[in-house]
Amino acid sequence: MALAAAGRFPRTRRQFASTSRSIDRLGEQALFFARAIAWAPRAVRRYPKETLRLIAEISMGTGALAVIGGTVVIVGFLTLFTGGTIAVQGYSSLGNIGVEALTGFFAAFINVRIAAPVIAGIGLAATIGAGSTAQLGAMRVSEEIDALETMAIPSIPYLVSTRVMAGMIAIVPLYALAVIASFIASRFATVVLYDQSAGVYDHYFSTFLIPTDILWSFAQAIVMAIAIMLIHTYYGFTASGGPVGVGVAVGNAVRSSLIAVVTVTLLISLAIYGGSGNFNLSG
């Protein structure tokens, strides 16, 4: 009877099987993330040299990437050009309604709350995230992770938790550079290229730049870094299928981390600023 029912509804069986596999993967990821976070403080104490090496690698890069300064330069240039774009679009759009003087407000508001965190998250996913997936994936397919475990070295604390902590520590100076670069670019584009009064720009910029927004922006960047490192290390740690499987893992990890970046930005923005943006403009 069961065989007859199974033969009569093959599409339903496939849908149930696909749903079951998806739920299993979610459970595996949640367990992996929990173990990696739980081990993070102990991993730093047990493997301080490895953590410091990873911080340097994340910040300045290795090999050919180190020639251009690694993640520092990439994230810096991304946010630099993003800040300039915000100033150009803000000045043009606000000028259409005669309030181009508010470009300073536009730069202070958009850069801190949306642009800088999102662009920095994308830069992290494309550099240290993809690199971590490729590294761990290569170690998995070449059985180096299995060799570590046979030597009684716990693989998740040594390979994953150290990377999560290194990413969380390295993001603070990296994001500070990103925010400063976006501020400089916005001011340069508005004052120098569009010839707006520096006093007008600085007045509105300083008026609407709320210190607590910067603190929340850093908190958002740290949460993004943790999410990115967890996602990328998971896909690298569980890669299979040889070099092709590593490439597939990198692609899946980048896709998932970009979704995580946007999701974190949305949830934190709604939780902190609400639907109205938590600002008032009058006069």
- What is the reported pLDDT for 43? 87
Of the given ranges (45-49, 171-175, 277-281), which has the lowest mean pLDDT?
277-281
- C-beta of residue 179 within 8 angstroms of C-beta of residue 111: yes
In a domain, 7, yes or no: no
Is it the case that residue 276 has pLDDT exceeding 50?
A: yes
Domain that holds residue 115: 33-38+47-270
Is it the case that residue 203 has pLDDT exceeding 80?
A: yes
What count of Cα atoms within 13 Å lies in the side-chain half-sphere of residue 85?
10
In a domain, 108, yes or no: yes
Q: What is the pLDDT averaged over residues 103-130?
A: 87
Of the given ranges (13-17, 48-52, 149-153, 218-222), which has the lowest mean pLDDT?
13-17
In a domain, 21, yes or no: no
d(CA 34, CA 122): 24
Q: Which pTM was predicted? A: 0.84
- What is the reported pLDDT for 227? 93
- What is the reported pLDDT for 75? 84
Q: Give the count of domains, the chain.
A: 1
In a domain, 222, yes or no: yes
In a domain, 17, yes or no: no
Q: What is the pLDDT of residues 28-83, one digit of tens each?
A: 888 999 999 999 888 888 999 999 988 888 877 665 455 455 677 888 888 888 89
Is it the case that residue 6 has pLDDT exceeding 70?
A: no
d(CA 107, CA 204): 9
- What is the reported pLDDT for 123? 86
In a domain, 81, yes or no: yes
Mean pLDDT, the chain, rounded, equals 85
- What is the reported pLDDT for 278? 59
**Which one-letter DSSP state was computed for residue 111?**
I
d(CA 254, CA 163): 16
- What is the reported pLDDT for 24? 76
- What is the reported pLDDT for 15? 74
- What is the reported pLDDT for 2? 46
Q: What is the pLDDT averaged over residues 207-231?
A: 91
Q: What is the pLDDT of residues 220-252, one digit of tens each?
A: 999 999 999 999 999 999 998 888 999 999 999
In a domain, 1, yes or no: no
pLDDT band at 281 (very low <50, low <70, confident <90, very high): low
pLDDT band at 1 (very low <50, low <70, confident <90, very high): very low
In a domain, 12, yes or no: no
- C-beta of residue 98 within 8 angstroms of C-beta of residue 198: no
d(CA 145, CA 157): 12
